[in-house]
Chains A and B, each alone.
Chain A
Amino acid sequence: MTAQHADASFGGATRYILDEELAQIVNISMALEMPLLLKGEPGTGKTMLAHAIAESLNMPLIVLNVKSSMKLVEGLYQYDTLTRLNDSRFGDSQRNVSDIEEYIKMGKIGQAFAADKRTVLLIDEIDKADTDFQDDMLDVLDQMEFDIIEVDKTVSARHRPVIIITSNAKKDLSDPFLGRCNFHHIAFPDPKMMRKIIGVHFPSIHDELAENAIAAFYRMRDLEAVEKRPATRELINWIRALDADPDFKPKRLTKGDLPFLGVLFKKSGDYERASTFVNRRKIF
């Protein structure tokens, strides 16, 4: 797995706009075979990045969605004891009860390790889990192998997967864990970048609509004291809504007339705040 392969460098994908800095970081992490830890506001495309890498490098993507009660073993493999117990008591299955391996199922990390080709492994929202989860993961990431205790077998990665880890900073990650990752914080895209992102999602969109909508979107994002600020996802949906409305004229946006605010603001308090703000602007 030499990553200096000219064809193995990452440069963006069809539905993903990549800034150069991030592309460099991804490529360096891949070359150093280190996991890349991504932090950033919701809607900055942390998860999308893994999808984009998988698409552009033509690798299968394996996603491990971390849950708060998850133990690392669940990500590695599962020993289905209940089925085995059931089989041993009622004996109505094809499986050989004395062969424990028949009851071992690979988890997502296990699948990535056992895959025939290099994969992209996305460990999504790692901060949801306990610190134990991270601590246990250290060794696995370091050695790129883990043991299945029940059958005393070691699974080692046939190809080191490209590991992307995302975190929403619900909990701090432990220092030793951070030490094994490269780190990047994705800032919220600026309007120029946003225009490109919109262009990728709506290739045939009218310039006037896109620009006015983006300008209005950033104005609304600056609104003080909003619980959940609209992110890229909301903007895309909003533009889709505006585009679908046959009566809508993009000029109205510059005059402060913003329809479908509910697409941008999803909490009722935020919605009220936003609509009073908009109405006030309309009067003056």
Chain B
Amino acid sequence: MFLAFFYKLKEVGVPVSPTAFLTLHRALANHLIATLDEFYTASRSILVKSERYFDLFDQVFAYHFQGIELPDVEGLEIDEMARAMLEQWLTDPKVMADALGIDEKQLNRMTPEELIAYFKERLKEQDGRHDGGNKWIGTGGTSPVGHSGYHPGGMRVGGVSRNKSAVKVAMDRRYKDYSLSGPLTQAMVGEALKRLRNMVPAGPKDQLNIDESIYRTMKNAGEIEIAFDRRMKDRLKVILAIDNGGWSMEPYVTVVQTLFDYARAQFKEVRTFFFHNTIYNTLWKDSARYRQPVTMTELVGMDPETRFIVVGDASMAPYELMSRDGSIYVQDRSGKPSIECLRMLAHTFPHNAWLNPASAIMWNYTRTINMIRQIYPMFELSIDGLEKAVQHLMAA
């Protein structure tokens, strides 16, 4: 009974075990389940062991018992793309028209619905589903994600639409926020970051070690000798460098804010610094990047065991990264290309990671991302990515 349901769950990636399935059958055999509603709650609580999969479960359940179609991934992406294109069209019709190679006036006559349909049509014509390499998305060798507040020509297809969802499912889908692809919430960031702990003994020896005391007492032929240990303390230091400038980071500000707020509550010693696009000679302690600079020399003197985490979209014009006077700020003239600074920091702090809020599938289309990835292991700023990053940071 319900074998197809079980395998469908497995197929879409909910980790279900045969034992749990048998338990469900035990419940059925004992007449504990009488209605479909009861079957829903019972099967979910027995089969699914994490709220992250509740959303997937809901979808499969609706599909299996109510014949609602599972959203197919491809259609979904086209939906999102078309929506992003519509947004782009609304802000700058001319660029869009040029990109599509169609007369602006012709597009002007369409209603939004028609426009969406037209965009979808165009998208489906492409061989590859949706990549930045398509000629009309205008990557043209420079960053599509724009930099320092003027880059209207770039199409921000990836960045904008990934956070949104156009899926319409007949069911309520209450647990969407908890699914792996859902937006990051503070609790989730917490869940991932909590694994970033490193317990070491510290402080005075004030904890009684009973086993050791007994052993020593026995060795002493019964003369009581009491042994003390130091208590375990979390001594992990963390530096968080956040890109908080420019509109390329704008869509991610809330996500990063969540991360930042969480980090403050989490670690004994966490320093947060700010930069814009990439790091030159200085990082800033204040978020306005104006009052409290921290120079490279100070950074290099810090404990090399510190975990160095950069949060940024790593997207900028290539010259900002490579050229000697690449900084978009006039006062930043260190005479060294930024990429050298990044290398030096990675060298100073061997435990490092770069969290990129842009979706991983878009990374290949931005040149600077690829260059930075060669220096820093890069992870997506999602629950999955955070978990991988933490794993990487804690390894050896």
Same assembly: yes
What residues make up the interface of A, taking CB atoms closer than 8 Å to B?
4, 21, 24-25, 27-29, 31-32, 34, 36-37, 39, 41, 69, 81-82, 85, 89, 169-171, 175, 178-179, 181-185, 187, 224-229
Tell me which of A82, A179, A226 contacts B261 (CB under 8 A): A226
If A28-B27, A169-B187, A227-B265 touch, does A183 touch B19 (CB 8 Å cutoff)? no
Q: How far is the CB of A141 from chain B (nearest CB, A)?
A: 14
Q: How far is the CB of B52 from chain A (nearest CB, A)?
A: 9
Contacts of B178 in A (CB 8 A): 185
Contacts of B224 in A (CB 8 A): 85, 89
If A85-B217, A185-B51 touch, does A225 touch B27 (CB 8 Å cutoff)? no
Contacts of B48 in A (CB 8 A): 183
Q: How far is the CB of A205 from chain B (nearest CB, A)?
A: 28
What residues make up the interface of B, taking CB atoms closer than 8 Å to A?
15, 17, 19-20, 23, 26-27, 30-33, 38, 41-42, 45-46, 48-51, 54, 174-175, 178, 186-187, 190-191, 194-195, 210, 213-214, 217, 222, 224, 232, 254, 257-258, 261-262, 264-265
Interchain CB contact under 8 A, A31 and B175: no
Interchain CB contact under 8 A, A183 and B49: yes
Interchain CB contact under 8 A, B46 and A182: yes
Q: How far is the CB of B338 from chain A (nearest CB, A)?
A: 29
Interchain CB contact under 8 A, B214 and A29: no
User: B51, B174, B178, B232: which has the most chain A beta carbons within 10 Å?
Assistant: B51
Q: How far is the CB of B383 from chain A (nearest CB, A)?
A: 11
Interchain CB contact under 8 A, A81 and B30: no
Complex Cα–Cα for A58 and B180 (A): 40
* Nearest residue, chain B, Cβ from A177: B49
What DSSP secondary structure best describes chain A's contact surface? mixed
Complex Cα–Cα for A182 and B24 (A): 10
Contacts of B31 in A (CB 8 A): 4
Interchain CB contact under 8 A, B23 and A31: no
Tell me which of B17, B41, B264 contacts A21 (CB under 8 A): B41
* Nearest residue, chain B, Cβ from A185: B51
Complex Cα–Cα for A260 and B392 (A): 44
* A–B Cβ pairs within 8 angstroms, 17 of them: A24-B38, A24-B41, A25-B41, A32-B46, A81-B210, A85-B217, A170-B194, A175-B49, A178-B50, A179-B20, A183-B50, A187-B174, A187-B175, A224-B254, A224-B257, A227-B262, A228-B265
Interchain CB contact under 8 A, A31 and B32: yes
Interchain CB contact under 8 A, B27 and A31: yes
Complex Cα–Cα for A185 and B57 (A): 13
* Nearest residue, chain B, Cβ from A88: B222
Contacts of A29 in B (CB 8 A): 45
Contacts of A182 in B (CB 8 A): 45-46
Tell me which of A41, A81, A183, A227 contacts B264 (CB under 8 A): A227
Complex Cα–Cα for A108 and B392 (A): 38
Interchain CB contact under 8 A, B49 and A179: yes
Interchain CB contact under 8 A, A178 and B49: yes
Contacts of A85 in B (CB 8 A): 214, 217, 222, 224
Contacts of B195 in A (CB 8 A): 171
- What are the nearest 10 A-B pairs in CB distance? A185-B51, A178-B49, A182-B45, A25-B45, A24-B41, A183-B49, A225-B257, A169-B191, A170-B194, A28-B42
Complex Cα–Cα for A227 and B190 (A): 11
Complex Cα–Cα for A27 and B38 (A): 11
Interchain CB contact under 8 A, B41 and A82: no
